[in-house]
Structure 1
Amino acid sequence: MATMHPCEKVGVDFVDTAPYRFSNSVDLRITPEQVFEVMADASAWPRWAKVITKVTWTSPPPYGPGTTRTVDMRGGLVATEEFLVWEPSTTIAFRFNEASEKTIRAFAERYDVLRTDTGCRLTWNLSLDVDGPARRTMPIARPINNLAFKWFLRNLRRHTDKVYGSSANRSV
């Protein structure tokens, strides 16, 4: 396993206060409950968030605050995550407790789900703080990162359309 470096154990408020923040939304033709089925499915993450190669839950279900998992990503990045919020059908949030890249000082994500007439709207908030050379390159990389995050959400919509099909919003 990769050498792990501790990250700052931030709270969910970090999502709104971090030096580098991204927020994007997607309308999905599934219920909020189905969004949480996708979020709990370790095999689904690499299908839509293409930077992720593997998700391993290290806590048993049912998932909630304190649940942990390990995420392997392209380029060799590995992170251990801890969920701070797990409110079924509305919000999940997690942070990195450790990362194989020592320039990641702090990292957290929050997913907010709102029911709509045609399914739901998922808003993905990703926030981080970095050290070293990453601090100098982050302003330049920010627009590229944001485009990638938008692409991941389009992938999520394609994935949920495929998994749940046209019958997905019958229970909305």
Structure 2
Amino acid sequence: MAHRLRPVGLDFIDVAPVRLVFAQEISAAPEGVFHALNDDVPGWAQWFAAVTHARATDDGAGRDIRLRGGGRFQETILASKEPEVYAYRVDVTNAPGARALAEEWRLAPSGTGTRVQWTFAADGTALFRFTVNAARAGLGRAFRDAVVTLDRRLAH
């Protein structure tokens, strides 16, 4: 059952009760990574294994995302500053216990490539917060696999 989450801003990413931060260096340039995040929303399903469907909504101001296992998210873009940051919040989801969710992708030049940092910020019931924290290792692995796959995709 889908439910509406608390609308949060960019500041939530720094103050959320649960913050998971992961980083990975890849060889692709920041501009190419930013383009894949911001401009090629359907492409997410090609490089982020957890994503089965992604499409831009509201003339690019939002996204509709579906995940393996049945997760669904209607999102609003909070920041889109090329080539440095791409962030969004979840407005509606079927994730039980979630009260607020936002994600931020920070891109920084690193040698000839990019340091990609992903922050997953969340609030919810005690059980939801526990579950997100318990999923840290799996989310980190999913992030690393995704950006390595994205790097390969951008190299071609």
TM-score, normalised to structure 2's length? 0.88
Q: Which has the higher strand share?
A: 2
Mapped pair 1:69 → 2:63: yes
Q: CA deviation at 1:45?
A: 1.6
- Quote the residue 2:54 is aligned against: 55
Given that 1:69 and 1:82 are in contact with CA atoms closer than 8 Å, whether structure 2 keeps it comes out as: yes
Return the letter of the residue paired with 1:19. Answer: P
User: Larger radius of gyration, structure 1 or 2?
Assistant: 1
Q: 1:92 aligns with which of 86, 92, 101?
A: 86
Mapped pair 1:14 → 2:12: yes
Q: CA deviation at 1:133?
A: 3.6
- Quote the residue 2:97 is aligned against: 103
Given that 1:47 and 1:155 are in contact with CA atoms closer than 8 Å, whether structure 2 keeps it comes out as: no
Structure 1: distance between partners of 2:32 and 2:129 = 37
Q: CA deviation at 1:126?
A: 0.6
Structure 1: distance between partners of 2:130 and 2:84 = 35
Name the % identity: 25
Return the letter of the residue paired with 1:49. Answer: F
Q: 1:115 aligns with which of 89, 109, 113?
A: 109
User: Deviations along 1:77-100, whole A, 9 cap, x unmatched?
Assistant: 211100111001000111001112
Structure 1: distance between partners of 2:130 and 2:85 = 32
CA RMSD of aligned residues (A): 1.9
Q: How many residues align?
A: 155
User: Deviations along 1:37-84, whole A, 9 cap, x unmatched?
Assistant: 211222332233322211111133xx5xxx111111122221110011
Structure 2: distance between partners of 1:5 and 1:162 = 35
Structure 2: distance between partners of 1:155 and 1:80 = 21
Provide the secondary structure at the position in 1 that maps to 2:109: strand
Residue segments in structure 1 that go unaligned for 5+ positions in a row: 166-172
- Quote the residue 1:43 is aligned against: 42
Mapped pair 1:131 → 2:125: yes
Provide the secondary structure at the position in 2 that maps to 1:76: coil
Residue segments in structure 2 that go unaligned for 5+ positions in a row: none
- Quote the residue 1:157 is aligned against: 148
Q: CA deviation at 1:132?
A: 6.0
Given that 2:96 and 2:128 are in contact with CA atoms closer than 8 Å, whether structure 1 keeps it comes out as: no
Structure 1: distance between partners of 2:113 and 2:126 = 42
